Amino acid sequence: MKKSAMPDENGYFGEYGGQIIPPQLVEIMNQINDAYEEIIKLDSFQQELAELHADYIGRPSPVYFARRLTEQQGGARIFLKREDLNHTGAHKINHCVGEALLAKYMGKTKVLAETGAGQHGVALATACALVGIDCEIHMGEIDIAKEHPNVTKMKILGCKLVPVSRGTRTLKDAVDSAFEAFLEDPVNFFYAIGSVVGPHPFPKMVRDFQSIVGREAREQFLSKENRLPDVAIACVGGGSNAMGLFTAFLDDESVKLIGVEPAGKGLDTPDHAATLTLGSKGSLHGFECYNLQDQQGNPLPVYSIASGLDYPAVGPQHCHLKDIKRVNYETIDDAECLDAFMKLSRLEGIIPALESAHAVAYAMKLAKTMTAEQTILVNLSGRGDKDADFVADYLEL
């Protein structure tokens, strides 16, 4: 079987994924899967999605040769897939537009989700405004206090923001709160997951909606360079931008694929989120995957300087790709991330998201070990406007 032909009909990528949920939910998820499989075959859906890609998101995003960064590093030439140039400034809009459009085609009345730092919330509220469907975002009170610009944007975009005051008052409890609200009317509501995680069919759907990134990049790279890149690199939180890039290259055995996880303050401290590197097999949020968990199987607190990467689980396809050794997973710590953030800003005039700076940092390290004839393609998943104040304070600029 081709590596790209996954998951199986039960939503498994090897031993990972599936539907680790109560029986009544299995039926709901299977209905979403059946509707999805039918709707994506419709010409009208594909045409509407293609138009939104081009005229709304601004696709295709360019593949850019980072000349000065390459010169400074020495070694392999580094190229960036510019997802930071999308409307709303990151790759998340790709699957949010897909999910909102799908909800509309399914005749749903409302789209629900949780958000942590607010990036998924803003992208989803944007997509819901675009297709004209109600949107309800659950967010922990602590996160609401911390993430003012995103909270303001969600309000302006017209979504209903539900503050979550229970438990940790952060993402973990926002997930439970949003899911309970979804269960009040699963026939008319649509739950929009923010990465390639959750029960089947979400890892597949979100991957499919993100795979435009790799399809474009592969074609763009071939027409620029007349060959494929030697290495393709992306950061991994839940894993959506990485699956978006990797999917088009999975069957190109010559292309080495590398996912970069956050080592935070160090892999020998508790302050990291290197799930594939240090996690063990378990289940969380409705699917089987590698987890950072304690002896009892409870998720451990995780940390990254990039809030989009601090998740104690990871998408099931990444777990499988690690086991079959098709993708290597490496780590970058906070200091290396900040160094890449500043270098890309000052050498190229591109301020990257702290998440994306993890991928850039690993590419910089790797390039030096390669020859000038070789090439690296990095998914620049988002722009760093959201991180600029934090970094300036942190580095006392």
Ligand X SMILES: *Cc1c(COP(=O)(O)O)cnc(C)c1O
Residues forming the site for ligand X (CB under 6 A): 90, 92, 119, 195, 235-242, 308-309, 353, 355-356, 381-382
Please answer whether residues 273 and 310 qualify as being in contact, where contact means their C-beta atoms are separated by less than 8 angstroms: yes
Q: How far is the CB of 92 from ligand X (least distance, A)?
A: 5
Maximal C-alpha separation, the chain: 58
Instruction: Give residue number: closest CB to ligand X.
Output: 382
Q: Which residues touch 132 (CB under 8 Å, ≥6 apart)?
A: 104
DSSP 266-332: -TTSS----HHHH-EEEEETTEEEEE-B-TTSPBPP---SSGGG--SB--HHHHHHHHTTSEEEEEE
Q: Which residues are catalytic?
A: 92, 114, 381
How far is Cα 392 from Cα 397, in angstroms, rounded to an integer? 5
Q: How far is the CB of 259 from ligand X (least distance, A)?
A: 9
Q: How far is the CB of 382 from ligand X (least distance, A)?
A: 2
Nearer of residues 35 and 337 to ligand X, judged by Cβ? 337
Nearer of residues 28 and 90 to ligand X, judged by Cβ? 90
Q: How far is the CB of 272 from ligand X (least distance, A)?
A: 15
Q: How far is the CB of 295 from ligand X (least distance, A)?
A: 27
Nearer of residues 238 and 316 to ligand X, judged by Cβ? 238
Nearer of residues 112 and 213 to ligand X, judged by Cβ? 213
Supply the angle between the helices 23-39 and 92-105 in degrees, to the nearest 10.
90
Which token pair is 126? Answer: 């944007």
Q: Which residues touch 275 (CB under 8 Å, ≥6 apart)?
A: 261, 289, 290, 291, 292, 302, 311, 312, 313, 314
How far is Cα 242 from Cα 382, in angstroms, rounded to an integer? 12
How far is Cα 126 from Cα 105, in angstroms, rounded to an integer? 17
Nearer of residues 29 and 380 to ligand X, judged by Cβ? 380
* N-term to C-term CA, the chain: 52
Of 70, 69, 80, 82, give the one whose Cα is nearest residue 347: 69
